[in-house]
Structure 1
Amino acid sequence: MAHRLGESDWGDWLPTAVADADPDGVAVWYLGCNGFVLKGRDGTTLFIDPYCGLGDPPRTLRMLPVPFDPSDVQDADAILATHEHSDHVHGPTQAPILAATGADYYAPDASMAIVERQGWIDEWSAVAEQFVTVSEDETFDIGEFTIHVVPVNDPDADHPVGYVIEHDAGTVFHGGDTRHADSFTGLADRFDIDLGVLAFGSAGRIPDKQTREPKRTQWYADENEVIRAANALELDRLIPSHWDIWKGLNADPTVLHHHARSFDYPERLEIVEIGDRVDL
């Protein structure tokens, strides 16, 4: 079965660390791939694109440990999905969290179509009221966070969105698998983004989904594209993501130091690994 749930050998330390954390502002954990957890000082906990699947071997081969078992997640107020791909909308990872915690699930229509097709409500005992379809330019509150749904540019997705997440301690941008978008300069005018997440990776020869023949593939922004996007967004801090997950599309995020050196933004490049925490 493609994208089946992987077994974690990390135990429950990461969900426990999130549950036990008492941040002064906002704590942010990287889950590998493009997954993140944000927890505010009042305890509001947001998951963005968590993924504990194993990929679709031999087409996509997971290069990371599975960091937690979804059944070990103790607290979640919401899961935000950026687009419909299996490593961003993943029933075996996300639906058990919804069922156990009562969290709400926010996603664009193409992502919700996957949820319906896979029967999350029947399969994992989530309830219909937990699912909220979002579109660009919507704003809503989840506890101490204000969430803005914003347009992004992912040419491989049917309907991708990004999220600008505001808190008294700072503002976070998560763009899913976006490349540079013309809308980013407008976002920089609207928001002072303290921490931005941009997907980064190399091009590689990956088996075609239909023919399984090797095909040149690039799903994520390269070095120059990432820095172009970071400049347009005027990021104070940049965390590159997604570079660590798929065999053949891995990349070295430290090279971004060289590409960023002569530009105004990002002001700081932060390289994190799966399980790491940073703070606003």
Structure 2
Amino acid sequence: MTDSDWGDWLPRAVADADPDTVALWYLGCNGFAIKGSEGTVLWIDPYVGTGDPPRTVRMIPVPFDPADVDVADAVLATHEHTDHVHGPSQAPILANTDADFVAPDDSLAVAREEERWTDEYAVDDEAFLEITEGDEVAIGEFTVHVVETHDPDATHPVGYVIEHPSGTVFHAGDSKPSASFSGLAERFDIDIGILAFGSVGMIPDKETGEPVETKWYSDENEIAAAAANLALDRLVPTHWDMWKGLTADPTALHEHVRSRSHPNQLDVVEIGDRLDL
């Protein structure tokens, strides 16, 4: 992990904000900080690592130092991959704020066993909250529903439907279109849906180092279908900015979603941008 390219302005922006409804800050990759009108703050999949060059090469700034984050009620992980569970990115937030780390079993195994957060950082085991599909967790003013997703590259991925009196946000992690999405549309009126999007590219194989055709995220048609199945009001594509060789142009999605019933709006955000419900 490198030092922040932006100093501490982004954590300060989150800490100082007083949203009327719910504010969301895009952290790049698939990360978000979410703050409610009563001051509850969730951090979802924050990652400030540089990847594993030359296989995975970070293409965007490191927007904050986790040691500068002093406002957090929970850090949520969607699955066990390193850009979603990463001790240097997340453990300092827990240590500074006494926030809980909310995650499925395989993600907690990374924190507990592989990276040993309780040994390497000032984090107690009591901070780890294991969740699974079907769970409902109250975190301050938010009600967080843990839901099924479809990410065949992960061993136990989940998504989070985050309800607030002002509206509902869905973070799908790295999910591609899922058979569960139409059911979520029936259960929830989702205002903002966060879905991973990227291109197909040539990425060095982990074992051989030889470039292989790689597809980790939904393409244009898949993300458009997922947004329609979820009946999203607003679609926020993510992850398109992160890895060299897999970046994509989110503005191209306008043509892919324009004839569908949903989403009603495409929100293209860059790292550091703020959205409001």
Q: TM-score range by the shorter chain?
A: over 0.9
Name the structure 1 match of 2:34: 38
1:88 pairs with 2:84: yes
Distance in 2, Cα, partners of 1:14 & 1:98: 17
Match of 2:51 in 1: 55
Q: What CA RMSD, in Å, does the superposition of the two structures yield over aligned residues?
A: 0.5
CA distance in 2, matches of 1:18, 1:118: 28
SS of 2:216's partner is coil
Give me the whole-angstrom Cα distance separating, in 2, the residues matched to 1:133 and 1:211.
Answer: 35
Structure 1 residue 6, shift from structure 2 partner = 2.1
CA–CA distance in 2 between the matches of 1:201 and 1:79?
24
Take 1:52 and 1:208, find their aligned partners in 2: how far apart are those partners?
A: 23
TM-score of the pair, normalised by structure 2: 0.99
Matched, 1:255 2:252: yes
2:183 aligned to 183, 186, 192, which one? 186
C-alpha distance in 1, partners of 2:5/2:90? 19
Q: Structure 1 vs Structure 2: percent identity of aligned residues?
A: 65
From 201, 205, 213, give the equivalent of 1:216.
213
User: Counterpart of 2:35 in structure 1: which amino acid?
Assistant: K
1-side partners of 2:261 and 2:189: how far apart?
Answer: 14
Aligned equivalent of 1:242, options 239, 247, 255:
239
Residue 127 (structure 1) shift: 0.5
Residues in 1 aligned to 2:56 and 2:238: alpha-carbon distance in whole angstroms: 17
CA distance in 2 between counterparts of 1:276 and 1:179 reads 24
Distance 1:196 1:6 in 2: 30
Q: 1:16 is aligned with what amino acid?
A: R
Partner of 1:126: 123
CA distance, structure 2, for counterparts of residue 164 and residue 141 of structure 1 = 12
Counterpart Cα distance in 2 of 1:91 and 1:104: 14
Give ranges in structure 2 of 5+ residues lacking alignment. Answer: none
List aligned pairs for 1:94-173, cutoff 5 A: 94-116=90-112, 117-173=114-170
TM-aligned CA deviation for residue 140 of structure 1: 1.1
Matched, 1:274 2:259: no
May I ask how many residue pairs the two structures share in their alignment? Answer: 276
- 2:108 aligned partner, one-letter code: M
| Offset from partner CA, 1:209-248 (integer Å, 9 cap, x none) | 1111100000000000000000000000000000000000
Q: Which runs of 5+ in 1 are unaligned?
A: none
Shift of 1:9: 1.9
TM-score, normalization: structure 1?
0.98
Offset at residue 154 of structure 1 (A): 0.2
C-alpha distance in structure 2 between counterparts of 1:12 and 1:47, whole Å: 16
SS in 2 for 1:225: helix
Residues in 2 aligned to 1:230 and 1:97: alpha-carbon distance in whole angstroms: 32
Give the Cα separation in 1 of the matches to 2:102 and 2:207. 30
The equivalent residue for 2:73 is 77
Query: For 1:96 and 1:6, how far apart are their aligned partners in 2?
Result: 14
